[in-house]
Structure 1
Amino acid sequence: MSRRAAVALAVVVVLAVAGLAAWRLSSSGTPLSRALALVPAETSRSSWTDWEGVRRELGSDVGRGSSAEEVDAFVSEAFGSDLTSMSALGTSAGTMQELLGLSPATLSWELLAQSDGGAVEAMGVGDDLDLSDVADRLADAGWTEPEVDDGVWVGGPDVLARLGSTITPELQHLVLLRDQDLVLASDQVAYLEAATEVARGTAAGADDLADLATGLAEPLAAAVFTGDYTCERLAMAQADADAQDEAAQLVAESGGVHPLTGFAMGLLPGGHVRALLQVEDADDAPADADARARLASGPAPGQGGEFTDRFALERAGSQGRVITLDLRARPGAYVLSDLTSGPVLFATC
């Protein structure tokens, strides 16, 4: 191959990789599903917050010029509506705003993606945020600047300790992807580098979770889990022996359920909550939908009380392998935060 041909091929490869990354951000789907396609394929649990949507839902005008106190007040108000339970940044918000200009007041969205190998915090940059300004602030605060624009800003626990005890450990190291309006952060450099390859389009993303998440439409906050994580963490095995016995009887009376291969729950605008429960075989989904609807309309062993104390079941059905339960949260109920950790009877395997 001639030198000219080799250079031309390299240019084509670079453009293809850049094009794939841009396609992942702008292609059809929902903001949540597109974000999941940007994090490692091994992700087993993810937590989403649509900060732009939260600001709109609350009628908040916080932004780049807001003080740390104003941003903390915004996050506190959002907490009261169960809109911050999926965020890794809640306790860090005011400090992040003051020191980095990067916070729930200026981000478009946030996705914390976790696996057994590590965790990455992906943050979509809003129109009110200048990543060049963020870079300057990182340098001033003690992070070591990378040699290339999209390299890792190395901080570590010592840098965070100087900034205060409220900063989440996930912000120890960061990557600023200016061409994608994206910031990635992690407490592990190696995992952050691997996650960056996914965001660049040179490694596989969490496409199975992304496909499932499309059924949530555009939630303000959401959790999306693999089947293995769901069957471990939401299962009735998390409850005491008496609750397990009660649950077994209720499941038998409902007609029985099949193991889940995926789970997602999202808080939608206006107080609606949607749960998606995916089974292995589409033929099992209609009966599972009926059974899980009955389970979601009765006692909540391990949680206490009745599920109807927390929400009203408005609709249950299935399409393909996915069962959908549409819920309306009762006033003052924290459905998303309460029912994304076990035991959850209607999500049992």
Structure 2
Amino acid sequence: MHHAMQFLSDNAAAVHPRIWAALQAADAPAPPYDNDALSQQLDDAFGALFGRPCAVLWVATGTAANCLALATLVPPHGGVVCHREAHIEMDEGGAPGFYTHGAKLLLADGEGAKLTPASIAAVLDPIRPDVHRVQPHAVSITQASEYGRVYTPAEMAGIAAFAAGRGLPVHVDGARFANAVAFLGCTPWEACAGAAALSFGCVKNGGMSAEGLVFFDESLADVARYRRKRAGHLQSKGRFLAAQLLAILEGDLWLENARAANAAAQEIASVAGDRLLHPVQANEIFLTVSEAERAALRAQGFSFYDWGDGAARLVTAWNSDPAHVAALARAIASL
């Protein structure tokens, strides 16, 4: 059945008109790869956003951004501590191991798919410092988490300080980083403070085909550039990716889009009551709904993913139709 009202994923959302305009404006002869004027502006643009120097590479997918970051931080014989429900564990088809040439994901627990210093320590402490055990080399967190839960600046600072004390750099999977910052109302840096690398999401937030790989340790970018080429992600017309990233930063479009998506999610969450499985802090809503109730919602034209037994995931986007959002809220309230 065709479901006219889309709450399946923010990946299904349209490209923002200002992104399209930026792509059109970039459609002129320019030096190839990342030697064009737009690509050369990324470091300064993101440096201004985060208030500190950084080096930024464009890539086409979130998987590539995450895994190139991890491959830069972690040797093939090393390990990455992440939540057992993190995207890099559950939804990237073995790409972390492929890009790192064998590094292992070391799985930790935590409510709401969030890590804490204690849950990271529970993974690290039993590891003997000898060649028979995979040694940790990095920590990866997701901001916002796989259940739409947000790390506060204090939580982020606590994890970064703990990881630094163990000599581990932190990578932040920021596929929905904009939604987290919009919810927190903090500065972008406070939402990822202490990170060595950040995957800055654009595609889910109005972009078409670009994600930003941000290194706050600029020296790491020198290695990542070689890895990007070897992985097939050095696009010859890279200016089109750079154009999207610059456009979404201009005038804080990234925050404007995220706020719209978050507001739509809050409208739906406001009627869900005890059905909510997690607090709604970004643009994802997880509900307890029976099989019959899911069928009833789909029969009314709503699309969404089933999420385990008796649960559904609903995702709003920058352009969620207010009429559709209101209709879904009414439908959930009347179940």
Q: Is the shorter-chain TM-score for this pair beyond 0.5, marking a shared fold?
A: no
Structure having the higher Rg? 1
Q: TM-score range by the shorter chain?
A: under 0.3
Give the TM-score, by structure 2 length.
0.25
Q: Which has the higher contact order (CA 8 A, sep 6+)?
A: 2
**TM-score w.r.t. length of structure 1:** 0.24
